[in-house]
């Protein structure tokens, strides 16, 4: 029998018979590996395990410990869920798409006769378990598009018909398990029996193909893991995430609200929330001034001609709002870079003036569809800690590294770990190939020299330049994209920005667009969930609450409150005619760091007794001593 050569990821080569499958290769290495292998990458393409290999190939076995393996596993679980739903709720249900997503999967269904609710989940999960127990093989087949259209029309699956017709290809692949057939590229697990642990988590609405003018679908979310222990740990994280949800805590802590009267995606900041963001903004101003940035401020609207010149009108206008003033069109700014370039261009610059670093806490507005709005983390109006650095090309490396250090230092203050991605040129972009290559090389070189780990995210850069995206990891190991550094040779060209070089000639500066925290709104939402609303003392909107035991201490409590406030402590007084335990409990629910209890003993000695929100009592101290204590705790951040 003729042999073929299979090269494995470690560079080793093995000889196998023609027609060998990936699962057989895995078994030849070890049964343990075979049990964990769910797919294979053959010559760079992800394939099912039972695909015959007929020529010399490179083979990478994909296991459940890899992101690709989990995606295959969860995508198969999505097919099993769709089959269960179809069998339980009949032919009135049409299936649409069911991809794997971060930590799980979903499937979108169209059904006019039944509204899915969490009460349906137990029934669906029970049927899924039956399908798993049957160990149905998932069989791949290829069919002409015309035959596939005819098949799905006969099945009443109109959404599948539309997908096939829009693909515009001659053949499509289908997967069958039992009586269930789905349009799918694959790959999948060999059989349903490989699924071990799954759970339906929620249901929501979703428009077909994300188009609010199309049919409303019902999206069932779920998750799946290789074993019950991992599933249990994930569900516990989900429960903790629900408790920490910034929308829930924002209401409970009276930080912010949204109002349909005002409009979706527009934040209304309450006193404590406004104080929290003010503390962050003041911190930002201090940190930027320390690093040689100048504070600037641009207008909220600029002439549409300017947005056309920058390329935003052509490449970004679907995200912008426009208005008209005295017959002239204006764009409400979605970002702050244009005004900063006008500041630079307001006078001739010399190489001695560079770099110029302009910082603005700039409020911007972007047209987000209502379906993607999510509390503070996805809004239509927000404030960015935006800065633009204009420098000579030879200064670029030092400036990028300076921003990277800035990010590291600030995220360390908040206790965030982070990961980095280098995003390259997207399909929709402006600028020359050489400019993009130079900008990408500058970012890549700074990352390498800084010794920071990073991944390449192909094709996800800004339309005017590549970027480094910084993703924060919160207390629940979730990642959030906040800080970014974008390198731009194109806009300085479009706006004809210049500086006089050492040779007396005109030269073109390079521009870095960058944010550190990103959107203040988004960062506040992340902070709320990261700290579960129990903010560190230095950023707590209310640092202490003075609590009297009885009305006998009312005058002293008010005097202490005024003294602390005068000394710069953010303090409130709770002098209601309520029991002490009730008032302490109220303060704990508001997650206020310190309760300052005042009884007759404290009043006579001119002291107060601080109690931390977790229940520990400090020794009695004078108001001045407590002020010193607060200031000392906060000093490292000021």
Is 543 tagged catalytic? Answer: no
Q: Which residues pair with 15 in a beta bridge?
A: 5
Is 384 tagged catalytic? Answer: yes
Residues whose CB is less than 8 angstroms from the CB of residue 24 and which lie 6 or more positions away in sequence, other chains included:
16
CA atoms of 562 and 564, how far apart (whole Å)? 6
Q: Kindly compute the dihedral angle of the four CA atoms of residues 359, 360, 361, 363, in this order, to the nearest 10 degrees.
A: -150
Which of these is catalytic: 94, 218, 384, 590?
384
CB 463 within 8 A of CB 517: no
Long-range Cβ contacts of 302-306 (<8 Å, 24+ apart): 302/330, 302/331, 302/333, 302/338, 302/339, 303/328, 303/329, 303/330, 303/331, 304/329, 304/330, 304/331, 305/329, 306/331, 306/338
Residue 55 CB burial class (10 angstroms; 0-12, 13-18, ≥19): exposed
Which of these is catalytic: 467, 530, 611, 613?
467
The radius of gyration computed from the CA coordinates of the chain, to the nearest angstrom, equals 30
Compute the Cα dihedral for 541, 547, 553, 554 and give only its sign: positive
SS3 string of 147-159?
HHHHHHHHHCCHH
Q: Kindly compute the dihedral angle of the four CA atoms of residues 510, 516, 522, 526, in this order, to the nearest 10 degrees.
A: 150
Closest C-alpha among 577, 630, 528 to residue 250 = 528
Place of tokens 């053949």: 171
- Residues, the chain: 638
Q: Kindly compute the dihedral angle of the four CA atoms of residues 372, 373, 374, 380, in this order, to the nearest 10 degrees.
A: 140
How many Cβ atoms are within 10 Å of 282's Cβ, its own excluded?
A: 11
Q: What pairing do the DSSP bridges indicate for beta strands 506-507 and 356-365?
A: unpaired
Which of these is catalytic: 234, 246, 340, 388?
388
CA atoms of 523 and 263, how far apart (whole Å)? 21
Cis peptide before 355 (omega within 30 of 0): yes
Which of these is catalytic: 86, 160, 357, 513?
513
E strand spans, 527-601: 544-548, 571-574, 594-598
Which of these is catalytic: 75, 177, 337, 591?
337
Is 467 tagged catalytic? Answer: yes
Is 337 tagged catalytic? Answer: yes
Is 386 tagged catalytic? Answer: yes
Place of tokens 């261009």: 345
Residues whose CB is less than 8 angstroms from the CB of residue 298 and which lie 6 or more positions away in sequence, other chains included:
333, 336, 338, 339, 340, 342, 343, 360, 362
Which of these is catalytic: 47, 86, 366, 522?
366
Which of these is catalytic: 108, 386, 435, 488?
386
Is 513 tagged catalytic? Answer: yes
E strand spans, 43-103: 45-47, 52-53, 57-63, 94-95, 100-101
Q: Kindly compute the dihedral angle of the four CA atoms of residues 423, 185, 159, 193, in this order, to the nearest 10 degrees.
A: -110
Phi, then psi, of 626 in degrees rounded to 5? -65, -40
Catalytic sites, residue numbers: 337, 366, 384, 386, 388, 467, 513
């Amino acid at each position: 029998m003729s042999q073929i050569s299979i090269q494995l990821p470690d560079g080793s080569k093995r000889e196998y018979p023609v027609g060998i499958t990936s699962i057989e290769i895995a078994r030849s290495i070890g049964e343990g590996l075979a049990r964990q292998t769910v797919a294979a990458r053959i010559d760079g393409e992800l394939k099912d395990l039972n695909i015959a290999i007929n020529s010399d190939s490179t083979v990478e076995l994909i296991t459940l410990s890899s992101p690709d393996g989990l995606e295959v596993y969860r995508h198969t679980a999505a097919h099993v869920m769709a089959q269960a739903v179809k069998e339980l709720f009949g032919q009135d249900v049409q299936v649409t798409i069911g991809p794997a997503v971060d930590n799980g999967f979903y499937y979108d269904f169209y059904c006019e006769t039944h509204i899915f609710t969490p009460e349906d989940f137990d029934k669906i999960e029970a049927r899924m378990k039956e399908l798993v127990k049957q160990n149905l093989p998932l069989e791949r087949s290829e069919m002409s598009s015309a035959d596939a259209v005819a098949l799905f029309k006969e099945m009443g699956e109109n959404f599948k018909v539309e997908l096939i017709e829009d693909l515009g290809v001659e053949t499509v692949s289908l997967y069958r398990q039992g009586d269930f057939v789905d349009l799918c590229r694959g790959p999948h697990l060999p059989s349903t029996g490989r699924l071990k642990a799954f759970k339906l988590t929620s249901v929501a609405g979703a428009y077909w193909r994300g188009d609010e003018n199309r049919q409303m679908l019902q999206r069932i979310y779920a998750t799946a893991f290789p074993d019950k222990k991992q599933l249990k740990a994930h569900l516990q994280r989900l429960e903790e995430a629900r408790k920490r949800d910034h929308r829930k805590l924002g209401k409970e802590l009276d930080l912010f609200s949204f109002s349909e009267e005002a409009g979706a995606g527009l934040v209304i900041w309450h006193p404590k929330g406004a104080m929290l963001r003010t503390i962050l903004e003041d911190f930002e101003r201090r940190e930027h001034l320390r690093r040689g940035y100048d504070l600037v401020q641009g207008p909220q609207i600029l002439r549409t001609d300017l947005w056309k010149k920058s390329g935003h009108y052509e490449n970004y206008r679907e995200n912008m709002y426009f208005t008209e003033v005295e017959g002239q069109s204006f764009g409400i700014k979605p970002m702050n870079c244009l005004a900063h370039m006008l500041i630079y261009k307001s006078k001739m610059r010399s190489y001695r003036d560079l770099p110029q670093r302009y910082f603005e806490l700039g409020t911007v507005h972007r047209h987000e569809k209502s379906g993607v709005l999510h509390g503070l983390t996805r809004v239509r109006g927000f404030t960015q800690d935006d800065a633009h650095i204009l420098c000579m090309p030879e200064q670029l490396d030092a400036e990028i590294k300076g921003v990277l250090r800035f990010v590291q230092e600030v995220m360390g203050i908040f206790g965030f770990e982070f990961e980095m991605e280098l995003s390259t040129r997207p399909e929709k972009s402006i600028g020359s190939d050489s400019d993009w290559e130079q900008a990408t090389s500058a970012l890549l070189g700074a990352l390498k020299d800084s010794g920071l780990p990073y991944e390449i995210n192909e094709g996800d850069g800004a339309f005017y330049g590549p970027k480094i995206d910084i993703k924060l990891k919160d207390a629940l190991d979730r990642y959030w994209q906040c800080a970014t550094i974008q390198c731009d040779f194109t806009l300085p060209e479009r706006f004809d920005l210049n500086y006089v070089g050492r040779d007396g000639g005109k030269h073109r500066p390079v521009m870095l667009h960058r944010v550190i925290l990103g959107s203040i709104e988004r960062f506040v939402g992340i902070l709320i969930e990261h700290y579960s609303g129990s903010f560190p003392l230095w950023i707590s909107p209310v640092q202490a609450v003075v609590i009297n035991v009885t009305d006998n201490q009312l005058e002293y409590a008010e005097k202490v409150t005024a003294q602390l406030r005068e000394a710069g402590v953010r303090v409130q007084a709770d002098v209601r005619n309520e029991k002490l335990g009730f008032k302490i409990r109220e303060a704990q629910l508001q997650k206020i760091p310190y309760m300052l209890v005042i009884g007759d003993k404290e009043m006579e000695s001119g002291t107060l007794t601080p109690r931390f929100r977790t229940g520990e009592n400090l020794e009695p101290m004078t108001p001045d001593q407590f002020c010193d204590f607060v200031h000392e705790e906060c000093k490292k951040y000021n």
